[in-house]
Structure 1
Amino acid sequence: MIDFVDDSFECFYKDQGFGPVVHSKPVPPSKLAYYRGKVPDRLLQYWAAYGFAGYGDGLFWLTDPEEYSAVLDAWLEGTSFHGQDQYYVIGRSAFGELIVWGTRTGPCMKIVCAWAMIFPRAAPPQLPPSEADFLIGSWISGIEKEDLDETDEDDEPLFDRAVRLLGPLASNEMYGFVPALRMGGPCRIDHLQKVSTVEHLVFLAKLGKPEVMRDIVKEVDDQGLLD
């Protein structure tokens, strides 16, 4: 029986159906100490309790930011985000969608690497620690499987079929399209392969500059439409 850090993680694990944990790697105290003050304390509690691990049969992973630093640098280089904050990849999907946390700006963006899209999210200039913890809890409890799954050309989910066809993912693997979608490859199950996550995501970043999508929340706020 797993002991839950909080109600948010219990919701993620039970209600959203992401349990049980797979391929958990314990996080040493030295790493927890290094990231204290860089990411929310609540996230450190998750790491300490559950490790860097996969959930939902490998559909979603809580990641070691250090392992993804080169990936993040490759994707943010040449964008307006580069050098604006200390950014860390705190989660990823089986298809290479990255969740990025900024020390000052919090849940500031996600990067959908397969499609080379960056989705920025409105954030305050400086995020108070208490609000950061709240946002981490809200994020983990709000994750839904259908939002992480990739769909094929017929808009049919791919993850369960990929697991059956290719087998479950190891902690350093993802399902990647070969040839890459940006190289004209089709978005179909027969073009998915198990690939090394870090190597594949760096490769995808080198194919060209990503498209930074509109931050709709920020635009609405700037126009005062929520007042």
Structure 2
Amino acid sequence: MDDNFASFLMDFGPAIETRHVPTSSIERYRGKLPDQLLAYWENYGWCGYANGMFWTVNPQDYEPVLDAWIGDTEFMEHDAYHIIARSAFGDLYFWGEKTGNSLRIFAPGSFCTSRKSILIADKMNFGMQVFFGSRYVEDNDFEDMFAPALKKLGRLKHDEMYGFVPALALGSAGTLENLQKVKAVEHLVILSQLEPLEVITSPPP
């Protein structure tokens, strides 16, 4: 285990809802995603961390979400992307085949952060290590709501998230009272239809 992933596991705690990654999925993304990520999949599966606040996911399951959010945008003109992780509240982590860790979307707020990664080409595997090593638990929380949401609504399953009903884009107050357990893929696709995506460009680290 590399130091970055060891640090990630130390901060995010033991995995929950672990699903075995079949060989067919490993081979499907061979040459598209870094071998380092495929090794994580083989060793740890797709699962939730920090009691379900952060999830590694099957990119194939999230293709409808990717298409809904960036399928008709300039992002797809420059690279091929895959969603590799998400948060309990709908933070989506995209990995570009050429641009690496370059795009993150917060679906409930309909905005994305685009950045230029310096860890590309032959540095992609290290870039994946850094991606996990630079995660912070609190960055995946929303207004410190995870703990009370977990207590009120219970632990998420691998295909669920905490969603605001009605959505923030429809005027919902971002409060615990308006949170529900929802099916992640379906809810994320619906959110993409409610408000245009705002792009925020940030400098490389």
TM class, shorter-chain normalised?
over 0.9
Distance 2:50 2:27 in 1: 28
Give, in angstroms, the shift of residue 142 of structure 1. 1.2
Equivalence for 2:202: 216
Q: Secondary structure at the match of 2:48?
A: strand
SS at match of 1:186: coil
Q: Indicate the residue corresponding to 1:150 in structure 2.
A: 142
- The alignment status of 1:25 with 2:19, answered yes or no, reads yes
How far 1:38 sits from its partner (Å)?
0.5
TM-score (norm 1): 0.87
Higher strand share: 2
Does structure 1 residue 81 correspond to structure 2 residue 79? Answer: no
Give the match for residue 133 of structure 2. Answer: 141
Is 1:63 aligned to residue 50 of structure 2? no
User: Residue 209 of structure 1: CA displacement?
Assistant: 1.7
Counterpart CA distance in 2 for 1:108 and 1:141 is: 16
- 1:42 equivalent in alignment to 2:36: yes
Per chain length, whose mean CA-contact separation is higher, i.e. which structure has more relative contact order (CA < 8 Å, sep 6+)?
2
The corresponding residue for 1:191 is 178
Q: Does 1:167 align with 2:154?
A: yes
- The residue identity in structure 1 corresponding to 2:38 is L
Q: Residue deviations 1:58-94, cap 9 Å, x none?
A: 0000110001011011001332213321100011000
Aligned to 1:132: 124
What secondary structure, in the 3-state scheme, does the structure 2 residue paired with 1:66 have? coil
CA distance in 2, matches of 1:119, 1:165: 31
Q: Which of these two proteins has the greater Rg computed from alpha carbons? A: 1
CA displacement, residues 83-131 of structure 1 (integer Å, 9 cap, x when unaligned)? 321100011000010000000111110000010001101146x9323x1
CA RMSD across the alignment: 1.5
Q: Once structures 1 and 2 are overlaid, which stretch shifts more, 28-37 or 110-119? A: 28-37
The alignment of Structure 1 onto Structure 2 pairs a total of residues equal to 205
- Whether the aligned pair in 1 keeps the contact of 2:114 and 2:202 (CA below 8 Å) is no
| One-letter amino acid of the structure 2 residue matched with residue 128 of structure 1 | A
TM norm structure 2? 0.96
Deviation at 1:208, TM superposition (A): 2.6
Q: CA deviation at 1:185?
A: 0.3
Consecutive unaligned residues of structure 2, counting only runs of 5 or more, are none
Partner SS, residue 40 of structure 2: helix
Structure 1 letter corresponding to 2:5: F
1:83 match: secondary structure: helix
Identity rate, percent: 40
